[in-house]
């Protein structure tokens, strides 16, 4: 089933790509801006810079004072946020539809140039460091596994470095570094603007041309080279977590690039659901219910669980949390055995159950205006069309038993990375 709601895409002379999706069903407007820059774009010696710059974008711009963006959105009765990911950074707002022009002005003003000053930079370095302390360093399983797995699984700097950022790198950042990062990656041609909700397309176009049109075009940035050496050999590393109460593990394999081989990539996405989505899935049945060797088990494709907003090498991950005293090696052997069995015994009925559930999940995720605006923006960025999210459920449904069997057969122990977490908390 393909979504029939209208979607219009166009570009401004400066290169900004725009997606409009009018929907009068609710009197709100959602605006998302995705910049094609994430943690993998950070230069060496500036780990954590993508996240740091997300914070800088809220520190004021030519016509908007510090923190005024937040105040104006909230005064309109709306909500806002931004987030940093492996391959992109996004900024999003949802407001009553009569405040749409205000939001477009605000996003355009900071796209034209945020307030990159020494004071703002020092302040936000301190904020980001505190966020790392609270959310990663002082949380059980904080950042696990995404802050550690790439360093074990990959070798090249773009793929392997710690995207959360080292304090030394953050503290060494200069105003020139921040301005250069903005000038390089926050160009109109490196961004997608989406508007979803209750608005008149002609009026929205007029406002977009008024506020975004004058932003000067700059050269389109070169994406990092994400090529990786062959993954053969298998890797196993341990990390200590003094706050964690239970042992945990992540077993991961590289899967095909979604932009180069979408069919095989989708087979791996379906495989993760077959393995660990709900009580009927194979690993939950085996490890949680039957053997009671895991308290919970999950699986997904990509570093941060965003399978369709990424490019380049991506891991299929199986993540488990285990009862005290459980041998991780024994559980990983069971995972290997269940994946091998899936390759040999997966049925058409099993695939139909899993893909039907996946279709429903993706349709729900694309229903609310704000969620749709964000999905449109990432789809246009990574797949060249916002309407990719409408085609996705049917693409998943076309995945066959043979596709999934082939994907499972490729997940062999000699190509597997294991990140074992050793707890230090109460047993």
* Each residue's pLDDT tens digit, 230-242: 877 889 999 999 9
Strand partners, 194: 19, 32
Please give the structure tokens belonging to residue 157.
Answer: 């700097």
Please give the structure tokens belonging to residue 146.
Answer: 């995404």
Please report the pLDDT score of residue 427 as a whole number.
43
Please report the pLDDT score of residue 4 as a whole number.
60
Q: Is the pTM of this model over 0.85?
A: yes
Please report the pLDDT score of residue 232 as a whole number.
77
Please give the structure tokens belonging to residue 232.
Answer: 């053969």
Confidence of residue 3 (pLDDT cuts 50, 70, 90): low
* Each residue's pLDDT tens digit, 266-307: 999 999 999 999 999 999 999 999 999 999 999 999 999 889
- Secondary element (H or E) of residue 249: strand 248-255
Confidence of residue 425 (pLDDT cuts 50, 70, 90): low
Verify cis geometry, omega within 30 degrees of 0, for the bond prior to 286: no
Please report the pLDDT score of residue 294 as a whole number.
97
- Residue with token string 């923190």: 67
User: Distance (Å, rounded) from C-alpha 83 to C-alpha 309?
Assistant: 13
* Each residue's pLDDT tens digit, 73-92: 999 999 999 999 999 999 99
Q: Check whether 426 has a pLDDT greater than 50.
A: no
Q: Over the range 10-38, which residues count as b (16 or more CB within 10 Å of their CB) and which as e?
A: eebebbbbbbbbbbeeeebbbbbbbbbbb
Query: Could you tell me the domains of the chain?
Result: 8-212 (3.30.830.10), 235-423 (3.30.830.10)
Please report the pLDDT score of residue 139 as a whole number.
95
Q: Cβ neighbours of residue 22 under 8 Å, at least 6 residues apart?
A: 6, 197, 198, 199, 200, 201
Tally of CB atoms within 10 A around 425: 11
Q: Check whether 363 has a pLDDT greater than 90.
A: no
Q: How many residues are given for the chain?
A: 427
């Amino acid at each position: 089933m393909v979504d029939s709601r209208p979607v219009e895409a166009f570009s401004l002379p400066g290169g900004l790509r725009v997606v409009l999706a009018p929907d009068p069903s609710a009197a709100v407007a959602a605006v998302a801006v995705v910049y094609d820059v994430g943690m993998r774009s950070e230069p060496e010696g500036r780990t954590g810079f993508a996240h740091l710059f997300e914070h800088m974008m809220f520190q004021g711009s030519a016509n908007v004072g510090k923190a005024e963006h937040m105040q104006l959105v909230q005064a309109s009765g709306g909500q806002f946020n931004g987030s940093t990911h492996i391959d992109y950074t996004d900024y999003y707002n949802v407001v009553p539809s009569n405040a749409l022009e205000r939001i477009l002005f605000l996003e355009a003003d900071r796209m034209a140039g945020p307030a990159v000053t020494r004071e703002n930079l020092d302040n936000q370095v301190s904020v980001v460091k505190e966020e790392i302390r609270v959310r990663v360093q002082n949380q059980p399983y904080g950042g696990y596994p995404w802050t550690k797995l790439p360093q074990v699984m990959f070798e090249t700097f773009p793929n392997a470095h710690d995207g959360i950022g080292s304090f030394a790198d953050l503290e060494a950042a200069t105003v020139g570094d921040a301005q250069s990062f903005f000038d390089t990656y926050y160009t109109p041609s490196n961004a997608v603007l989406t508007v979803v909700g209750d608005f008149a397309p002609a009026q929205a176009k007029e406002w977009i041309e008024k506020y975004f049109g004058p932003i000067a075009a700059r050269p389109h940035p070169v994406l990092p080279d994400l090529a990786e050496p062959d993954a053969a050999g298998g890797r196993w590393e341990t990390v200590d977590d003094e706050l964690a109460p239970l042992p945990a593990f992540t077993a991961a394999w590289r899967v095909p690039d979604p932009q180069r081989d979408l069919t095989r990539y989708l087979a791996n996405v379906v495989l993760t659901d077959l393995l660990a989505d709900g009580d009927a899935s194979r690993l939950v049945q085996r490890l949680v219910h039957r053997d009671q060797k895991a308290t919970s088990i999950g699986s997904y494709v990509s570093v941060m669980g965003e399978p369709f907003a990424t490019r380049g090498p991506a891991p299929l991950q199986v993540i488990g949390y285990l009862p005290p005293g459980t041998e991780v090696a024994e559980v990983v052997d069971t995972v290997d055995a269940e994946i091998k069995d899936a390759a040999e015994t997966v049925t058409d009925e099993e695939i139909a159950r899993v893909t039907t559930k996946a279709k429903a999940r993706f349709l729900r995720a694309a229903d609310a205006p704000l969620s749709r605006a964000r999905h449109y923006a990432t789809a246009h960025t990574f797949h060249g069309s916002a309407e990719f999210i409408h085609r996705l459920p049917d693409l998943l449904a076309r995945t066959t038993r043979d596709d999934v069997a082939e994907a499972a057969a490729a997940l062999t122990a000699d190509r597997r990375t294991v990140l074992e977490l050793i707890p230090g908390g109460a047993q």
